[in-house]
Structure 1
């Protein structure tokens, strides 16, 4: 019987592990993959963080090397592996969680390997980058070219000489499009115009200013998610690519044709490959039996605390507490924040039956 089980051992799960360890709790991390690196090994080879190493650390272990550089994917993978080793975190790999059930006092967790675990509390730390979100367009089944999600993209060489569309308006879409423009003719297709924010302001990275002002520590989740315009942090590579004619941007096409796409002006264009950099869907289906999810499969939670299931907590959700919640720099503060309600819950669940029922009833209300 564990005090806490953490589902997922990527950046969010590892942050939770170090905080649980510091609190002296009995816990384990269940990781679906073969190593404590989350989704990072599945990203494209050249992926680069948009936050400097100085602001890309988990609790208790600074990111190594020049603090002002922007680490690559493989550096992040190595850092996460070393983080688990440094703190001797109890990570159980190849332990994909398929189902979670709740008894009166504890959770029972079942894995695809057939192993069962029991715990008084649970932290779902699988993050938002598990299931690629691939939209469907009219005529898509007729298209003879290649369609893939950005999660399947690795490097530009296979696209040499092609006509390529990259659909999306985020960091991944821009990074992939700029890289592909070295070997192919590329267009970014997005529903809204692209917006850019400079990486450096007054000689300092914008993450420095967010840290200095406390913006990245202030709970902005609901307001930010609903009202902040989507913008890409420009490292100095994106806008010049458009200005120099290496990239163009168009409004998303209306439909596919057999040979390409039909743009909104009813002009058909032959296309070889379409890459959808259209994000991911949450991987929380294992919580379905708990009644912890809404009709869209999203967590019913506030600041990482389940509003439906006492003892259930979340880490790594987008805008969970701040705009940085789903990033390397955001999961640490969020892990620290959920420790107070989690430890209070453990105290309640270990108390006398009468006191426990009275307190849990107030928690549910």
Structure 2
């Protein structure tokens, strides 16, 4: 493309679509580049049984309510359909199969090259890729010796392949517990945790936890104004029977193993145990390697920004965890962040003119 656009959005998930919504409202010339073949970002790659931790009423993006009964907890495929419908509803320009390979800065703005061999030009860039494309697996002594299976939760789909296996799920967050809970129906499953799992009630006095977080202002409190990243939590929302099941040992939880040997793991008490599969539900890390050459990242590859505004003029972020508030990077949180960032971007474009 030889046309100079006002903005290129990198990523066609919830953060990219919310950013597109506000750019569209302001009649900005933009394009969304999505690495996959459809909108939805990481959602099509999540495990089959994934259920939102927030009810539909607290899972909407700007301009379009999440459909259906407002107090239910939508499934993964419902979120995928919602994002696809969102793109259609607002006629957002998305180009699929365009994973960004490099970004170069020049006097006019930026030149973006993709792995498909295409080149795009834009005055500004909104990075909205999230971190799902960079799964994190901690280094454990002896892991290279293990003869079983090591899987990250990003590659887990359902429990059937693990029938009658001895499985360890590493992690103490919502995804780890959801995965271990369904595996425990078909396999001998243990949650390996650094700290005992903390459960919080999903509903208090008849209202979902997110109602109270919003009511007291914690969900959207602007921690960035204090020069801080919004806090995160590993507490597990006990919307089903998770705490009861874990307390009953199906699955059980054990302190994190200290090392790995050929046939399994070694627990802190020195006991060896044979294991078939280790599933790491240990989250993700942002990866913006295509920005490394223009000084937008620190030595660890993390974005240098404040509330989504990069230290490099013309570069912005939406969808980073804790970017502006506790709800940043969630379906309910990307809208306010996108609105804030687009406002700053519009001022920059006016100034740049």
TM-score bin, normalised by smaller chain: over 0.9
1:213 positional shift: 2.5
1:267 aligns with 2:250: no
Match of 1:354 in 2: none
Q: Distance in 2 between matches of 1:223 and 1:235?
A: 33
Deviation larger for 238-247 or 150-159:
238-247
Q: How far has the Cα of 1:231 moved from its partner?
A: 1.4
Residue aligned with 1:283, SS: coil
The whole-number CA distance in structure 2 between the counterparts of 1:228 and 1:24 is 35
- Cα contact 2:230–2:326 (8 A) shared by 1: no
Go from structure 1 to structure 2 and tell me whether the alpha carbon gap of 1:224 and 1:199 turns closer, same or farther (over 3 Å shift). farther
Tell me the equivalent position of 2:127: 124
Larger displacement relative to structure 2 (235-244 or 222-231): 222-231
1-side partners of 2:175 and 2:232: how far apart?
Answer: 19
Cα distance in 2 for partners of 1:195, 1:244 equals 15
The equivalent residue for 2:238 is 234
Q: 1:353 corresponds to which residue?
A: none
Of 339, 342, 346, the match for 2:345: 342
- For the residues of structure 1 that align with 2:192 and 2:227, how far apart are their CA atoms? 27
Residue in 1 that maps onto 2:168 = 165
- TM-score, normalisation: structure 1: 0.93
Change (3 A) 1:43 1:176: same
Structure 1 contact 140–257 (Cα < 8 Å) conserved: yes
Distance across 2 between alignment mates of 1:124 and 1:82 = 22
* Paired position in structure 2 for 1:253: 257
Give how far 1:224 is off.
7.5
TM-score, length basis structure 2:
0.96
Show structure 1 runs of 4+ deviating over 6 A: none
- Counterparts in 2 of 1:224 and 1:161: CA distance versus 1, 3 Å: farther
Cα separation, 1, equivalents of 2:175 and 2:228: 20
Alignment of 1:1-365 (within 5 A): 1-220=4-223, 230-307=234-311, 309-350=312-353
Q: CA deviation at 1:244?
A: 2.3
Q: Measure, in 2, the Cα distance between the counterparts of 1:172 and 1:224.
A: 26
* Inter-CA distance 225–262: structure 2 relative to 1 (3 Å threshold): farther
Aligned residues: 349
Contact in 1 for aligned 2:12/2:32 (Cα 8 Å) = yes
Residue 129 of structure 2: SS of its match in structure 1?
Answer: coil
SS at match of 1:329: coil
Judge which range, 130-139 or 145-154, deviates more.
Answer: 130-139
Show structure 1 runs of 5+ residues with no match: 351-365
Q: Is the 8 A contact 2:231 2:326 kept in 1?
A: no
The answer to whether the 8 Å contact 1:128/1:326 transfers is no
- Flag the structure with higher helix content: 1
**Cα pair 1:198 1:236 within 8 Å, conserved:** no
Tell me how far apart the structure 2 counterparts of residues 141 and 283 of structure 1 sit (CA, whole Å).
Answer: 24
C-alpha distance after superposition, 1:174-201 (max 9, x if no partner): 1000010111111111111211111111
C-alpha distance in 1 between matches for 2:43 and 2:110: 29
CA contact (8 A) 1:128 1:318 kept: no
| Residues 232 and 14 of structure 1: CA distance in aligned 2, closer, same or farther (over 3 Å) | same
For structure 2, list consecutive stretches of 5 or more residues without a partner in the other structure: none
Per the alignment, in what secondary structure is the counterpart of residue 338 of structure 1? Answer: helix
**What SS does the aligned partner of 2:333 have?**
helix
CA pair 301-77 structure 1, distance change in 2 beyond 3 A: same
The 1:160/1:224 distance shift into structure 2, 3 A limit, reads farther
> How far does residue 214 in structure 1 lie from its aligned partner after superposition?
2.5
